[in-house]
Structure formats: C-alpha cells, structure tokens
Amino acid sequence: MTADSKSPVRIQLEDFSQDEEIRALQASSTRMGGIATFLGCARDFSEGREVSTIRFDAYDRMALPEMQKLRDEAISRFGLLDARIVHRLGEVRAGDAIVFIATGAEHRAPALEACRWLIDELKQRVPIWKKETTPQGDAWVTPHP
Amino acid sequence: MINVLFFGPVAERLGASHLQVAFRAGMCVQDLRAQLQASHPEAFALVSLAAVDGEHVRDWSLALSDGSEVVFMSKFSGG
C-alpha cells in the first residue's frame, strides 16, 4: 500500500514534512510560478465533544490508486506542472497532520483551484474512514460538506 | 464465491470485515446488496457506495464474476 518516500502520492503511518514535499514539488520544474498547499489536521473538538485521537480505516487496494488517479486528473484538468498528495493512516493525536496536498502551476490561479478540487474530490472518492476517540466513547466521523 | 469486504462504520455495525457469498450466474451488485441487506439491515442502512475489484461502482446492475471482490461502503471521511 505505502509507496516509497519519494513518490508524489503516498499513504503512510508516519508524519510527513511539508517542507520536503514542497521542495520536491518545486524541484520538478523551474517553470513553476505558483504553489498552493492544503494541510488537513486532527481537531481536538468535534460535534461538541473533545477529541484526543483519531484512528483510520482504509480500503488499501483502492485508496492509493484513487489518489493516484486524482493527481493525474488534477494535472490534466488544471494544467498543473506537478502535484503531491500524502495521507496518513494509523492513529493520530489532536493537532497532528492528516493530509497534505501541494499543487504547482505556471500561475497561481490553477494551483489554488486544483488544490481545492483535490481535497474536495479526495473526500468524495478515496475510501478512508476516521474514528474519533472522545470521553463519551469512540465515534465514526460523519462526512462534512 | 464472492468475497465481500467491509470497512469502518459498516464493518463495526456488521461485526465482521469479510464475508463470502456463493456466486450465482447473472448475479449483479444490486442482487448481492439486497441479499446481504436482508440479513444485515442495520449495517446496510449505512451503505451508500460500492466497489468491485477496487473500482467505484457507478451502475449497481454491474454483473459480478465468480471470485469478484465487492465492498459495500458508507460515505468516506478521510482528509
């Protein structure tokens, strides 16, 4: 499931470095004039309850290929020079990073639009579920629009 | 046999992450859903998506093959 650490699309248990991902994206083309990023984090409060940790379940066979398709589609649809997507699994604590998306284009507009599109599509199309641990018990997260 | 997988909230409500169902000629995704929904109505109340052999199902009349891997899924909450 987990691709090598240099792959532009990865699912991994360990944390990631935003700086390394942006450096790798930037190194892919000197024509890149704009880079947009999205960082999704674990909140410590959800649906009126304190959240200490989040655990993930994923359909491994489908999750990574879907993320790779999303990257390919975004590059084609928005004319990106490159894009990177990293999603964590396992258990994360409140405040930890969950997902990182970086998009690079010649100009800012396609980079920004593609970044928004990618996180929205990821939430719709990549089979990953998260469960929050709260003082009232564990609860699967209901998707937010 | 059809290998049926469940994840996240559906697996938890069903109490299993894997079932095997006998394959019948002409069987489609909707047939399998109806069969399992009858025996596991609470879990299938959460189901809104399906995948066959790792691909999203767009048409629930998609025919299954012997040995297909089918996943019935609730809405995703990654990201």
pTM across the whole model: 0.93
Give the DSSP H or E segment for B76.
none
Is residue A126 in a domain? yes
CATH pick for B2-73 out of 3.40.50.2300, 3.10.130.10, 3.10.20.30, 3.40.190.120: 3.10.20.30
At B17-72, the pLDDT tens digits run 999 999 999 999 999 999 999 999 999 999 999 999 999 999 999 999 999 999 99
CB contact under 8 A, A99 and B78: yes
The overall longest dimension of chain A from CA atoms, in Å, is 51
Please report which confidence band the pLDDT of residue A5 belongs to, taking 50, 70 and 90 as the band edges. low
Q: Can you give the residue range of the structural domain that contains A18?
A: 9-136
Please report which confidence band the pLDDT of residue A46 belongs to, taking 50, 70 and 90 as the band edges. confident
Is residue A145 in a domain? no
Does the pLDDT value for residue A78 go beyond 70? yes
Gap between the Cα atoms of A15 and A56, Å rounded: 14
Q: Which of A72-76, A83-87, A132-136, B67-71 has the lowest mean pLDDT?
A: A132-136
CATH code of the domain covering residue A118: 3.90.1170.40
Query: Which candidate from A61, A130, A142 shows the least CB-CB separation from B78?
Result: A130
Is residue A75 in a domain? yes
Q: What is the DSSP string of A94-137?
A: TT-EEEEEEEEESSHHHHHHHHHHHHHHHHHHS-EEEEEEETTE
> Token pair of A86, please?
């990293």
The more confident residue out of A143 and A54 is A54
Is residue A142 in a domain? no
Is residue A77 in a domain? yes
Gap between the Cα atoms of A74 and A118, Å rounded: 7
> Token pair of B21, please?
């169902």
Contact in structure between A123 and A51 (CB atoms under 8 Å): no
Is residue A49 in a domain? yes
CB contact under 8 A, A87 and B78: yes
**B chain contacts of residue A123, beta-carbon cutoff 8 Å:** 76-79
Is residue A141 in a domain? no
> Based on the structure, what is the number of domains in chain A?
1
At residue A115, the pLDDT reads 98
